[in-house]
Structure 1
């Protein structure tokens, strides 16, 4: 079984909107629906669980019916942070998932996940136990000496940009969240599954990424998303 967990519990304050950013409509369609359609249409995905901001469950359910997204079998409320929302999903899946099931975790506000990216992260996870989508880092990274000066840099060939989708065998995922909570490791506001895994000492495997797989955080990102949609048309 391959289950996609879509994290859509954020509030989106940086968007300057009065609704969660995943529910902002672009070309008369909510952002979250663009994301879910990528998983609905991918042949390797068996089912989808959406972790949504508390109080927005019914809104999402109405959209699922409108856009006929049949793979979404579960809609649950999220937590105060992204990590808490992912953990909610992991705990929810415990009674219904097998150790070797693949769980694909993806941000609901990354609506342009390509088929080849999703396929590669799944195949790598099936082979190695986990995988994280990634890209080379093409900019130069300098380390601050003071707020205004620098004399040291990091070789960009040693860096990778990591994003969602990420995929894990359920047994590793479940055990890791239980350990992280028990030891209070990797569960901060800025943590995610991949950083938690690294904090716990796990080795992660890189999978393919895409420059189109943008995270919609600011109004400028929405304009970029509209441009990608226009190119696709």
Structure 2
């Protein structure tokens, strides 16, 4: 008989969204009458995920608890906690709140268009490979440049992927990687959770199929695209 495993999610909503050029953090902007953050939480709430930790900006915990978690009836959100100075600080705080989880799904709250099919692909991949991240093949040619802006190389397009979230890991693996990082902070900038695992543990991260719809809302133009997605493809959301 297969042993039951506990799958938990960390939804990151601590970003300031400076590129959005507005006073409201991007995760709280209204998208078809609901905050952007609502859609990611709804996807996890209606999936096989057992528990959700919501990481917010400092001072936004009560607002998120009352106006989002309680208002929309999200039963799986077990903790609403304040994030840290950097993204990786917020992730680590979420990891520490998930004692007892077997797998951790780390997701940007500003990516509203995940669905159960994508999450099932993530589950199947992490159970086999222990560490994985959503990604899609790049549609464009990628150039490598130097500090002066000159091209130094052109990798083959078939080997270039755009990385998304959720990024998913065995709990002990991702917690161990983060704890090693804090003990020996690398000189390079840490940009995602897969990089922490790759750098600190030399553990390979398997990519699974994400979605071209799985956009991250970062600029005003992204809101226009998101509205179009909702109107055309997600009429019930």
Q: TM-score, normalised by structure 1?
A: 0.91
In structure 2, relative to structure 1, the CA distance for the partners of 1:187 and 1:2 (3 Å cut) is farther
From 51, 68, 76, the counterpart of 2:73: 68
In structure 2, relative to structure 1, the CA distance for the partners of 1:56 and 1:155 (3 Å cut) is same
Structure 2 counterpart of 1:184: 185
How far apart are 1:144 and its partner, in Å? Answer: 3.8
**CA–CA distance in 1 between the matches of 2:24 and 2:62?**
14
- Structure 1: 5+ residue stretches without partners: none
Equivalent residues of 2:53, 2:97 under 8 A apart: no
Structure 1 counterpart of 2:94: 89
In structure 2, relative to structure 1, the CA distance for the partners of 1:145 and 1:34 (3 Å cut) is closer
How far apart are 1:222 and its partner, in Å? Answer: 0.4
Structure 1 counterpart of 2:3: none
In structure 2, relative to structure 1, the CA distance for the partners of 1:52 and 1:153 (3 Å cut) is same
Equivalent residues of 2:132, 2:194 under 8 A apart: no
Structure 1 counterpart of 2:198: 198
- Structure 2: 5+ residue stretches without partners: 1-5
How far apart are 1:210 and its partner, in Å? Answer: 0.2
Q: Stretches of 4+ moved more than 6 A in 1?
A: none
Structure 2 counterpart of 1:9: 14
**1:82-120 C-alpha deviation (Å, 9 max, x unpaired):** 111001112232xx325xx01100000000012211111
Structure 1 counterpart of 2:45: 40
SS at structure 2 position matched to 1:111: coil
**1:156-197 C-alpha deviation (Å, 9 max, x unpaired):** 112222110111110101111111110113784x52211111
The aligned length equals: 227
**1:132-161 C-alpha deviation (Å, 9 max, x unpaired):** 111111211233478576474211112222
Pair 1:221 & 2:222 matched: yes
Q: Within 5 A, what are the aligned runs for 1:1-233? A: 1-42=6-47, 44-62=48-66, 63-93=68-98, 96-98=99-101, 101-144=102-145, 150=151, 152-185=153-186, 188=189, 190-200=190-200, 201-231=202-232, 232-233=234-235
Equivalent residues of 1:180, 1:186 under 8 A apart: no
